[in-house]
A and B are shown apart, each in its own frame.
Chain A
Amino acid sequence: MFRQKLLVTGLMLLAGSAACAQGRAVRTETSSTATAAQKPGANVRTKTLKNGLKIIVWSDPDNPSISLFNWFRVGSRNERPGITGLSHFFEHMMFNGAKKYGPGEFDRVMEAHGGRNNAYTSEDVTVYMDGFPRSALETIFDLEADRLQYLSIDPKVVESERGVVYSERRSSVDNNNAGLLMEQVQSTAFVAHPYQIPTIGWPSDIESWKQEDLERYFRTYYAPNNATLIVVGAVTPEEIFSLAEKYLEPIPAQPAPEPVRTQEPPQQGERRVVVRKLAQAPLLQMAFHGFNASNPDAPALELLVRILTGGDSSRLHRRLVEEEQVAIHVEGYRSAGFDPGLTWLLVDLPPGGDLGKTETLLDEELGKVVSGGVTDAELRKAKNIVVADFWRHLETNSGRAQALGTYEVFHGDWQKLFSAPTQYEAVTREQVRKVAEKVFTKNNRTVGVLVPEAAAEAKKEAAR
């Protein structure tokens, strides 16, 4: 079976910290494979090619499946009115044909060699993910190099792909009430910073991207010096560096893209957005301006979000769902990108639910955290949850490629991945309370509500 020797070192950190906190002895017995007294990340090697592409390799010789993630520093924050959604659209176009491998060939060849791929776009990055057996390694490099160097942007293919993306928008936004409300809240929460742009793009832009927009975007952002390549699995760093030199180093570097300079000015009062729509159940969402990924307060905020919404014993779940029964689901998460993003509280109400009462109760709970802070037990619990989750994500090759990329790209150094548990451990109750005071204030938030309309009324509205 697969052995994940290196993971052990990281997990030992966690085991130690969590155990100490509960007043138990740190386990001293170790299994045969757990004795590797290696420094965390000892099997990770890096190299930067002459064209600026940084490569990070995490070897695990016993795992025959390889994950290759290519991170590009481009997302919807690099867009402007007229080309909203272009980063995401480009993510689609990267699969639509190059020089050696024509339209459809990238996927066809990859799958025929036992591989599969996917990709995602956020406000900050676009990430391409390949998972394949060892036997496909060189083919994958050939495929990736072809599209990075010679992508073709065929107008006919562009037209067809618009339909695909619009269908994606319909599924995740237009015909999905929670997605629709989030889009409205996010675009209201920012007045200056391009985080106001929905990653999927506004409908009129999806319909009108121009050929030159696409060509310019490719040249600007899909340059080796704007990317980080991560490979995890049964490979040696030497063979990956050698393949990268052969296939990727010939791709020329480009001038660094223009930085995003706009900063969101401090919010000076609450904003509200109302969506009236055919629905069975109302929704309440709150978005607070938070921090960027590398902000020293980010771990405290993450722990606070867990204390509020992580698990059935969390504060908001207990109060809103179990005790007062005004909500059927509460969720919280924070974005952690290049620039300060939003921290979200999403509350699903039952049909006929009372939006006003729910908001009052939510305010009350947030007020309690700001004035009274959190307890030792809550903080301990949140640390255990966060750190256990954190290492659980490193159980798979794709999880490791995602984690290494996150720390390299957003924190500036993949090695910070391995000190994350220690960082969480160091957070104090007072830090959490101060973060609550800073973030969870009314002046710093955008409140969104989705108010259900009955079918007949909606029809009348539409007929006007």
Chain B
Amino acid sequence: MKVFMGKAALAALLVASSAGAQDAKAQRPAAQQAQVRDAVKLPKATVLELKNGAKLLLVEKREVPMVSFSAKVRGGALGDPEGKEGLAALTAEMLQKGAGSRDARQFAEAVDSVGGSISVSPGREGLDVYGQFMSRDTALMVELLSDLLMRPRFEPAELDKTRERMVSELAAVKDGDLRGIIGTYFQAFHFGTHPYGRPVGGSEASLATLKREDVLAYAKAHLGGDRLILSVVGDIDAKKLAKQLEAALGGWARASTPAPVAPPTQATKGRRVLLVDKPDATQTYFWAGNTGIARTDPARVDVALANTVLGGRFTSLLNTALRIKSGLSYGAGSLVMRDTQPGAFAVSSYTKTESTGKALDLALEVLASYRQKGMDDAMLASAREYMMGQFPPTLETSLQIASKLSELAFYGLDASDVDDFAAQVASSDKARIQAAIQRVVPSGDDLTVVLIGKAADIRDVARKYGTVTEMSITDPHFAPRAAVKK
């Protein structure tokens, strides 16, 4: 069935979070009071730390006979040596290609045959491992997970095959919907040599050079018990499972190097434009932004409210201007990417080639006006309701809860990030939000702009926004070599 999502237009990524304790103010409307009262709470987890440093968080949620897990293994693309971007990603793929007594095929059979799932995806600062099994298969799940983490085979033939496929996938993705890839160009261009500029999945150029020795070296340096946070939620006996996991994972040696730490990021000054030429494009895709906030930023709830109004929902200022009022685009939004250090804050949209300048101008006007005026009382009231109303469904399934537990532990946050969220939102203050806007929403003078489209038609338009660097979509890197080297 071919389906068109008529309204799922926002490219926005609104990750709700909450700051430290602040008293909820009285005098809220009845609906808000009800929402604070009904607010979703994170279930209490049984927490264990193994001798090797592995952290386990277990929650019994026994309504359905299924069990979900979310593991984070600290390191990720931060552990990629310079020039070897994508090494963590290749390692992540290889973890699924045979481990313990099973080769790649047998491993896939073992997972599929019981209707289970395990996937490893590389992140900027860690590898994420997710899975879900019927609870009757919990023992098998523990066996497969510990094999995958502790006893990967890294077979040479599988490795060559996997690497070749990853290179091809990167080329192929550029033939598809460019909304999926423009962020990689933006971050590579914006963060340059900082590790946050590295394409997490690697580039066609860097992946092609990776060898088995590189993967073995990465695994030795960055896989180990001390790097692991594992949350398991579902129809489990927490005590029994804790013992099983301790037996299975307690012997995992520590990684041979300390976990890599991202150096601080900063906002850039001035305007720079990257134009990625795709000669057959009939539509231009763009991101414009700068450096925003970290996951643990004390003002993160204020920023989330600010982002909701600017570009985090359908009636946001950006979507209203570019879609609802002008019909220039199917969608416009803003996004906040948050890691241990501040990540990107950007506005994003797309429009037919001929209206590239008009759409980008409009987006930047909204940005400038918002920075100057902020939000009014009605917008704030609405954004509060929206954020409180939409938060509970983000913690509906056992996998969502497991992911949240691992995420909080990874960033050193606690349950208050969830439990106090509604109260935090309800008590938000306009002046404080305005201060957050001033700090986080970039000024029009200091912007990184990335455009992907038909360069022959939009080259002159691009020049209006700053010094233009140009590259081709077929270039095997995600940023021009000179720009990355600076």
Contact = CB atoms under 8 A, between A and B. Distances in A.
Interface residues of A, number: 116
A215 interface: no
A33 B392 CA distance: 21
A433 to B, nearest CB: 20
Interface in A323-337: 325, 328-329, 335-337
Contact of B397 (A65, A134, A176, A396): A396
A8 B63 contact: yes
A118 B31 contact: no
Contacts of B111: 311, 313
Q: Which of A64, A198, A396 has the most CB of B within 10 A?
A: A64
A182 B2 contact: yes
Contacts of A329: 169, 172
A306 B382 CA distance: 44
Contact of A311 (B38, B40, B112, B389): B112
B125 to A, nearest CB: 27
Interface string A271-285: 000000111110000
A24 B136 contact: yes
B286 interface: no
B283 A175 contact: yes
B35 interface: yes
A136 interface: yes
Given A175-B178, A312-B112, A385-B115, A120 B4 contact: yes
Contact of A322 (B4, B105, B112, B378): B105
Contacts of B313: 111, 116
Interface stretch (A145-153, A221-229, A253-261, A386-394): A386-394
A376 B280 CA distance: 48
Contacts of A165: 330
Contacts of A289: none
Interface stretch (B207-215, B317-325, B362-370, B406-414): B317-325
B104 A322 contact: yes
B63 A4 contact: yes
A240 B464 CA distance: 55
Interface string A71-96: 00000000000000000100110010
A99 interface: no
Nearest to B386: A111
A123 interface: yes
Given A116-B390, A170-B283, A199-B3, A104 B315 contact: yes
Interface in B296-352: 313-315, 320, 323-331, 350-352
A176 to B, nearest CB: 5
A118 B390 CA distance: 13
B82 to A, nearest CB: 26
B372 interface: no
Nearest to A85: B4
Nearest to B351: A167
Nearest to A351: B171
B1 interface: yes
B161 interface: yes
B177 A171 contact: yes
Contact of B172 (A314, A322, A348, A459): A348
A318 interface: yes
A12 B134 CA distance: 11
A11 interface: yes
Contacts of A322: 104-105, 161
A7 B7 contact: no
A335 B169 CA distance: 26
Given A5-B63, A116-B313, A161-B327, A321 B165 contact: yes
Interface of B: 1-9, 30-31, 34-35, 38, 40-41, 43, 61-66, 96, 104-105, 108-109, 111-116, 132, 134-136, 161, 164-165, 167-169, 171-172, 174-179, 235, 279-283, 313-315, 320, 323-331, 350-352, 378, 381-382, 385-386, 388-390, 392-393, 396-398, 401, 474
Interface of A: 1-5, 7-8, 11-12, 14-15, 18-19, 22, 24, 27, 31-34, 63-65, 88, 91-92, 95, 104, 107-108, 111-124, 131-136, 159-168, 170-172, 174-179, 182, 186, 198-200, 277-281, 310-314, 318, 321-322, 325, 328-329, 335-337, 341, 348, 350-351, 353, 377, 380-381, 384-389, 391-392, 395-398, 455, 458-459
27 contacts: A4-B64, A8-B63, A27-B135, A31-B63, A31-B235, A95-B7, A111-B315, A111-B385, A112-B378, A113-B31, A117-B314, A120-B5, A162-B327, A167-B283, A167-B351, A170-B283, A170-B352, A198-B2, A199-B2, A280-B172, A313-B113, A325-B164, A325-B165, A336-B1, A377-B113, A384-B115, A455-B279
